[in-house]
Amino acid sequence: MRDIIDSKKSLPSVNLGHHDTMGYERRCSISFFVEIRECLVFLIRGCIVCLLLIPSLHLKASDEPSYKGLMRIPIDLMTPDGIRLEKGQYELEVKPEAGGHVLSFSLGGHVKAIVKPAADLDPTISSSASIPVVGTHYLRSSTEPLASGEERRFSKTGRAQYEEETRQWKATLRVYKGADNSVFFLFQSKKPCWRWTHLSFKLSQAQTN
């Protein structure tokens, strides 16, 4: 009788252990599925953020500013397309286009020529262009408001226009001539985080008649 009572007392402890084991496994299964769900939610949110960022990247690329400035060119030029540019004052503009930038020459409000950056330029040729054709020209960004005629005529500080403290010059254009009559328009613009854009537009000096 004592053995039967003792065996009956031991049964509940066995059953409790079995229930505890199943409860632990159930909790582990639930925890596993919860973690899987959280991972899926995180991945889905990441994909949504990426999809939202892609249009904004295209928008930033299309909103990149252009740069304009007047330049008096003392020599006749010839573009790679065979367009002759007589010496004189032109409005130059470096503007973004699909796949890169272009340099346009305008006269009297009409575009006379458009030049693309030199591709696969031989470093020995570009380095030989050491004869300055004109001095450094500072270009105005299309994001900056154009000052009035009165403001452009008179300096607030008494300094030269390019030395004005209130103006942030972010782009320059230099022109150099090489020994082989090649003429390089070297463009440089300042980007955020101290990054710089460098472009080289190659023309040639036209033969005088």
DSSP letter at 187 equals E
Cα–Cα distance measured from residue 4 to residue 8, given in angstroms and rounded to the nearest whole number: 6
Q: Where are the domains of the chain?
A: 1-63, 67-205
Spell out, as residue ranges, where the chain has pLDDT lower than 50.
1, 4-5, 7-16, 18, 55-61
**Contact status, residue 154 vs residue 107, Cβ threshold 8 Å:** no
Cα–Cα distance measured from residue 167 to residue 192, given in angstroms and rounded to the nearest whole number: 17
**Contact status, residue 203 vs residue 77, Cβ threshold 8 Å:** yes
Cα–Cα distance measured from residue 62 to residue 56, given in angstroms and rounded to the nearest whole number: 10
Confidence at residue 24, expressed as pLDDT on a 0 to 100 scale: 53
Confidence at residue 161, expressed as pLDDT on a 0 to 100 scale: 59
Q: What percent of the chain has pLDDT over 90?
A: 35
Contacts of 186 (CB under 8 A, 6+ apart): 173, 174, 175, 176, 198, 199, 200, 201
Confidence at residue 58, expressed as pLDDT on a 0 to 100 scale: 45
The three-state secondary structure class of 104 is strand
**Contact status, residue 103 vs residue 185, Cβ threshold 8 Å:** yes
Confidence at residue 14, expressed as pLDDT on a 0 to 100 scale: 44
Confidence at residue 31, expressed as pLDDT on a 0 to 100 scale: 66
